[in-house]
């Protein structure tokens, strides 16, 4: 999915989202850099690690997301790379590869998922760790109602969701409203398209690529339960 159109909305919505930062920072401090982030967006996580002196390589296909990230990370040990997680080749391996904040939900088919995991595996150092978080699909409540997501400066953001359980797809339709000249309304529409995962599907997917995964229900080692907000995975190469 192309985030170019969503880049300004993303900046407004998530500049203050911090729930996962200490988790990824702790892993980076434990495993050392450089860290490879897949789907690095605007550098929300990457810049945080880089500000702590950890070298980060940030792979991101959207030019608009990268440009915002680059502008905010000048002078930091953060290397921005234009690329797709399904098909990239870098000249080194990494002790830690991360994909924070549902980035893997932009892999829409088994072939895309396998291609990305093969690339991760090829770029992990022996004993290296692949860590990522996904929202818990058991909590999806898509009733189609239009809800206010938030007010950001002059913009009001509404959303409604469309759930397709047979294909594990969740579409979130955003309406971004701002006042227009002459008392009118300027409304923009964006759709976020995500293909979510079930727990045993992830475990089998990792095992198929020679990785063994541990699942947590939160960023502080909580056990995974039906009501957990997240599926947080830490996977290690075992073969
Ligand atoms: C939800 S954002 C997460 C951004 C960042 N990781 C964060 O935590 O703020 C998902 C990102 O994945 C990127 N993305 C989508 N498809 C991708 C692909 N095939 N390969 C790499 N990144 C992709 C999007 O452009 C977007 O920036």
The CATH number for 178's domain is 2.20.25.110
Stretch 182-210: mean pLDDT: 96
Query: Tell me: the pLDDT tens digits for 92-124?
Result: 999 999 999 999 999 999 999 999 999 999 999
Q: What is the pLDDT of residue 238?
A: 83
> Is the same domain home to 105 and 147?
no
Q: What is the pLDDT of residue 183?
A: 87
> Is the same domain home to 132 and 151?
no
CB 97 within 8 A of CB 123: yes
> Is the same domain home to 29 and 145?
no
CB 165 within 8 A of CB 142: no
> Is the same domain home to 186 and 206?
no
Rounded to the nearest angstrom, the distance between the alpha carbon of 154 and the centre of ligand 1 is: 26
The CATH number for 129's domain is 3.40.50.150
For ligand 1, whether the C-beta of 66 sits within 6 Å is: no
Other C-beta atoms within 10 Å of 232: how many?
A: 24
How many C-alpha atoms does 169 have within 13 Å on its Cβ side?
A: 13
> Is the same domain home to 130 and 158?
no
> Is the same domain home to 91 and 191?
no
> Is the same domain home to 213 and 145?
no
Rounded to the nearest angstrom, the distance between the alpha carbon of 182 and the centre of ligand 1 is: 37
For ligand 1, whether the C-beta of 23 sits within 6 Å is: no
- Work out how many domains the chain is built from and give that number: 2
**What's the domain range around 63?**
4-136+198-237
> Is the same domain home to 51 and 117?
yes
> Is the same domain home to 103 and 52?
yes
Q: How far is CA 78 from the centre of its chain?
A: 17
Rounded to the nearest angstrom, the distance between the alpha carbon of 41 and the centre of ligand 1 is: 5
Mean residue pLDDT of the chain comes to 96
For ligand 1, whether the C-beta of 44 sits within 6 Å is: yes
pLDDT above 80 (res 151): yes
> Is the same domain home to 118 and 38?
yes
For 225, the 3-state DSSP assignment is coil
Confidence of residue 26 (pLDDT cuts 50, 70, 90): very high
For ligand 1, whether the C-beta of 45 sits within 6 Å is: yes
Q: What is the torsional sign of CA 134, 137, 138, 141?
A: positive
pLDDT above 90 (res 80): yes
Predicted TM-score (pTM) of the model is: 0.97
Q: Which atom of ligand 1 is nearest to the CA of 14?
A: 9
> Is the same domain home to 208 and 185?
no
> Is the same domain home to 10 and 66?
yes
């Amino acid at each position: 999915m192309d985030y170019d159109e969503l880049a300004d909305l993303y900046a407004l919505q998530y500049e203050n989202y911090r729930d996962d930062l200490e988790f990824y920072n702790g892993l980076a401090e434990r495993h050392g850099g450089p860290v490879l982030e897949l789907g690095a967006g605007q550098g929300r996580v990457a810049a945080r690690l880089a500000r702590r002196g950890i070298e980060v390589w940030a792979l991101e296909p959207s030019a608009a997301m990268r440009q915002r990230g680059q502008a905010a990370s000048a002078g930091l040990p953060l290397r921005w790379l234009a690329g797709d997680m399904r098909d990239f080749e870098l000249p080194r391996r990494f002790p830690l590869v991360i994909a924070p904040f549902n980035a893997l939900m932009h892999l829409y088919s088994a072939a895309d998922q396998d291609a990305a995991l093969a690339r991760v595996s090829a770029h992990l150092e022996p004993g290296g760790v692949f860590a990522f978080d996904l929202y818990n699909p058991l909590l999806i409540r898509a009733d189609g109602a239009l809800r206010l997501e938030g007010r950001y400066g002059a913009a009001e953001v509404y959303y409604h969701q469309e759930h397709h359980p047979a294909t594990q797809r969740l579409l979130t339709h955003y309406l971004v409203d701002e006042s227009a000249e002459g008392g009118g309304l300027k409304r923009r529409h964006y759709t976020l398209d995500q293909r979510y995962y079930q727990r045993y599907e992830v475990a089998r997917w990792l095992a198929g690529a020679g990785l063994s995964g541990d699942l947590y229900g939160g960023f502080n080692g909580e056990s995974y339960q039906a009501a957990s907000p997240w599926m947080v995975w830490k996977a290690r190469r075992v073969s």
